Amino acid sequence: MTLWLSAGIILTIAAILFILMRWGNLQCNGVTPVRAFTFIAILFTSGLDVGLIMFPLTEFSGYADTSASPEYAFTNPLAIEFGFWGFYIWSFYFLTCFYFCVIEPKVKFFEIPLVKWVNNIVIIGTCAFTAYLLLANLPWYLPELGDGESVLPTFYLVVGLVIGLAVYSSTDLKYVRVLSLSSTWMFFALIAFMWVGAFIFDTNAISDYFLTLGLVGGYFSHMESFVLPLNDYHQFYLFWWFAWSIMIGQFTSRFVGGLKTWQVLGAMMVFPSIPIAIWFSLLYFYYKHDLATTGLENIAMVIVGVTFVINSLDSLIRLYTDNLNLTVERLGKRNYWLLNFAALSVLTLLFKLDFLQIQWVGALVIGIFFSAVGYIFLNKMRSVRAIKAEDYDIDVDFKKIESVH
């Protein structure tokens, strides 16, 4: 698996470099182009995941224990956490976003029936894994409801409710829009709430936070160490990012509006990394200063985490149901809800029982990447070579475009 993952990473980096060299100044426009700020907001909300809220506090101690894991000794735990979530790995999203915006309309690889089905299996499986992550982490964040380790029936009920709400939300784009906006504002409200707890009620020096934030620089000074997997746990993260990459690329490619290729790459790597760095630094400050996150803090993180899950699932459910023509219009709202609720619930339980692993989904995505490259070389090289900047340099009247997210 490590060799397969490394091959996928090398292919991804090579493809990104090729795209920048050949089409770096090409102006990209999706089918529903929006302004740059709106595109960044859509990218941020669609890329949010419950792990962003729930993982760091459970992981800092592991990264700090360099006697047990000497491979982490080259930098600090905050830089490692950021390296697993920020900057470089968002380039995976750029590759798929550019592909679906510019190349796929020419080659139509994902319209091949087998590829289409495999692609939707990836989307459905990753949806279920997102729900499973919530289920697996609730005991740690809500120890008041149990022993802090066991998954109780109450937690299954919570996750079932989240899946049900996400499926219902996916039935209408107006719900998707509301959740996207609310999850963003709730995330920033959570940062403000935790900030107040650390620097107003506990009277810590605000300057200490900025010193903590500076530790993120340890990632940039050792960025080459994060390219290939450090260990099995980093490998798990990289497979996870591959699993997400195709569907996020499909979704965000619709909304690119006039940015040049290098600007799309910059937007996707830089702008999401800023709030991630701010949030992780705040959590690391809590960890280093032994500040309690029980009570209201835990409840607030769970609420935001749950909202993230609903926000992620509803967009992805809508994506795969549209791809498979399992729409509300065709099935009716009741049958649509029952079908998707049952499928995601069963798959979530399969992840819980270790019958499925996200590494398998990520490995499947790498296989799709290699297959797409092979298909282009064998059948569509002339079409790809014909892609020129002037084919995409069009004026976009944003006032006439209504955002759907």
Residue 47: CATH number of its domain? 1.10.4160
Specify the range with the lowest mean pLDDT, choosing from 20-34, 143-157, 322-336: 143-157
Q: How many domains, the chain?
A: 1
Is residue 2, in this structure, part of any structural domain at all?
Answer: no
How much of the chain exceeds pLDDT 90, in percent? 44
Mean pLDDT of 120-132: 87
Task: Report the alpha-carbon distance of residue 399 to residue 299 in Å, rounded.
Answer: 41
Query: What pLDDT shows up at residue 391?
Result: 53
Q: Give yes or no for residue 64 having a pLDDT over 90.
A: yes
More confident residue, 150 or 390: 150
Average pLDDT over all residues of the chain? 86
Mean pLDDT of 67-94: 94
Alpha-carbon Rg for the chain in angstroms: 21
Q: Which amino acid is at 400?
A: K
Task: Report the alpha-carbon distance of residue 386 to residue 188 in Å, rounded.
Answer: 44
In order of 82, 182, 193, 196, 387, the CA distances from 188 in angstroms are 18, 10, 9, 12, 40
Is residue 245, in this structure, part of any structural domain at all?
Answer: yes
Q: What is the DSSP letter of 25?
A: T
Residues of the domain holding 281: 28-392
Query: What pLDDT shows up at residue 203?
Result: 72
Mean pLDDT of 117-134: 87
pLDDT-based confidence at 393, cuts 50/70/90? low
Is residue 310, in this structure, part of any structural domain at all?
Answer: yes
What is the helix (H) or strand (E) element at residue 158, kind and residue range? helix 153-169
More confident residue, 397 or 374: 374
Task: Report the alpha-carbon distance of residue 132 to residue 134 in Å, rounded.
Answer: 5
Q: Give yes or no for residue 234 having a pLDDT over 80.
A: yes
Largest separation between any pair of C-alpha atoms in the chain? 65
pLDDT digits (tens, 9 = 90+) for 181-196: 777 788 889 999 998 8
pLDDT-based confidence at 399, cuts 50/70/90? very low
Is residue 124, in this structure, part of any structural domain at all?
Answer: yes
Token digits for 72?
A: 């982490």
Specify the range with the lowest mean pLDDT, choosing from 9-13, 247-251, 269-273: 247-251
Q: Are 28 and 256 in contact (CB under 8 A)?
A: yes
pLDDT-based confidence at 396, cuts 50/70/90? low
What is the Cβ-side half-sphere exposure of residue 247, based on CA atoms within 13 angstroms?
A: 30
pLDDT-based confidence at 82, cuts 50/70/90? very high
pLDDT-based confidence at 90, cuts 50/70/90? very high
pLDDT-based confidence at 198, cuts 50/70/90? confident
Query: What pLDDT shows up at residue 152?
Result: 79
Is residue 73, in this structure, part of any structural domain at all?
Answer: yes
Please report the beta strands in 133-270, taking only residues with DSSP state E, as ranges in sequence order: 257-260
Measured in degrees and rounded to the nearest 5, phi and psi for residue 348 equal -60, -45
Query: What pLDDT shows up at residue 65?
Result: 94
Task: Report the alpha-carbon distance of residue 204 to residue 105 in Å, rounded.
Answer: 54
Task: Report the alpha-carbon distance of residue 140 to residue 268 in Å, rounded.
Answer: 31
Q: What is the DSSP letter of 144?
A: G
pLDDT-based confidence at 47, cuts 50/70/90? low
